[in-house]
Amino acid sequence: MFPDIHTNFWNAIIAVPVIMILTQITKSIFRPSKPSVPFIALVFGLGISIFISHRESLLAGIFMGWFYGYAAVGSYASLKTTILAYLKKVRREPDG
């Protein structure tokens, strides 16, 4: 009933940063609205998964593409929050 999904460490390590980079390039070129950016990352995740990582099974490609796309969204949000919190902390505290 469910597809056999064979993925490895490198698929996730390469796919997620590539999706983040492609999404940032798309944002800088096309200036989409903020609510549409996760959808753009999802499309890139599905594309990479269906056409590169999981060509043998469409269902596996859709399933893993969903994870790749939203892992990129979550990673970007986490990185942005961490950097902004760090900068806020650094700006408040005088050099000692």
Taking only the tens place, the pLDDT of each residue in 37-66 is 999 999 999 999 999 988 989 998 999 999
Question: What pLDDT sits at residue 45?
Answer: 97
Banded pLDDT at 9 (limits 50, 70, 90): confident
Taking only the tens place, the pLDDT of each residue in 14-35 is 999 999 999 999 999 999 999 9
Alpha-carbon gap, residue 55 to 6, rounded angstroms: 11
Question: What pLDDT sits at residue 94?
Answer: 66
Alpha-carbon gap, residue 57 to 3, rounded angstroms: 7
Alpha-carbon gap, residue 49 to 60, rounded angstroms: 8
| Top-confidence residue, 75 or 11 | 75
